[in-house]
Structure 1
Amino acid sequence: MLDRNFFLGFIRVHILYHASKEPIYGVELIEELKRHGYALSPGTLYPILHRLEEESLLITEYRIVGGKRRRYYSLTDKGREMLTSARKQIGELMNEVMQG
């Protein structure tokens, strides 16, 4: 079982990745992670999203969907830079770990 801190770090990068493709919302991310075998509660996910927004890595846009207001998150330029850096660093570390 992966340590919670390691897991949440991976989740943050995963969120940035999906937000780089298109605007995302919480329930969609929970379902996406479930497809990978991870059960993440709203009580865990939403604080991560809000923190990423506080760090200016995501921005929020509200849309009306089915008569309800839904909060979508998109990647900022700073978030794109962070994702690019994280991908490079993760790639380097994974190569070392997998070859070692």
Structure 2
Amino acid sequence: MEERVIRKLFLGFIQIHILHHALEEPIYGTWMVDELKEHGYSISSGTLYPILHSMEKDGLLLKENMNVDGKIRKYYSTTPKGREILIEARNKAYELFKEIKD
């Protein structure tokens, strides 16, 4: 039960990470899994791709298929709506950090 609660809580953080990196440059799943691991999140591709698809459906990400070495790779970029949400999330995260630090 505790693991499920933690994963649910961290889902928002993961989505903020995705929006941030996809705003800097288009991202793809394997790269994002590795990036999240560097920040202490243990997430599989099987968990990440439904998150990406949901964010795309919500209009936060735009998917583009690209041919990379003969294979189709899905790249995701932050949409203008996703950028607005990211800015709002940054502001809320900053306010929360100020409240809970120390």
TM-score normalised by the chain length of structure 1:
0.93
Does residue 42 (structure 1) correspond to residue 38 (structure 2)? The answer is no
Report whether the alignment pairs 1:71 with 2:74: yes
Moved more, 31-40 or 89-98: 31-40
What is aligned with 2:60?
57
Three-state SS of the structure 1 residue aligned to 2:40 is: coil
One of 16, 21, 26 as aligned partner of 1:23: 26
CA RMSD of aligned residues (A): 1.3
Secondary structure of 2:42's aligned partner: coil
1:87 equivalent in structure 2: 90
Runs of 4 or more, structure 1, over 6 Å off, are: none
Deviation at 1:43, TM superposition (A): 1.4
Q: 1:44-97 CA deviation, whole Å, 9 max, x = no partner?
A: 100100000000000011110011000000000000000000000110011011
Match of 2:36 among 29, 33, 40: 33
1:59 counterpart SS class: strand
**Unmatched runs of 5 consecutive residues or more in structure 1:** none
Cα drift, residue 37 of structure 1: 2.7
Q: Which secondary structure does the structure 1 equivalent of 2:101 belong to?
A: helix
% identical aligned pairs: 54
Give 5+ residue unaligned stretches, structure 2: none
CA deviation after TM superposition for structure 1 residue 25, in Å:
0.3
TM-score, normalization: structure 2?
A: 0.91
Q: What is the number of residues matched between the two proteins?
A: 99
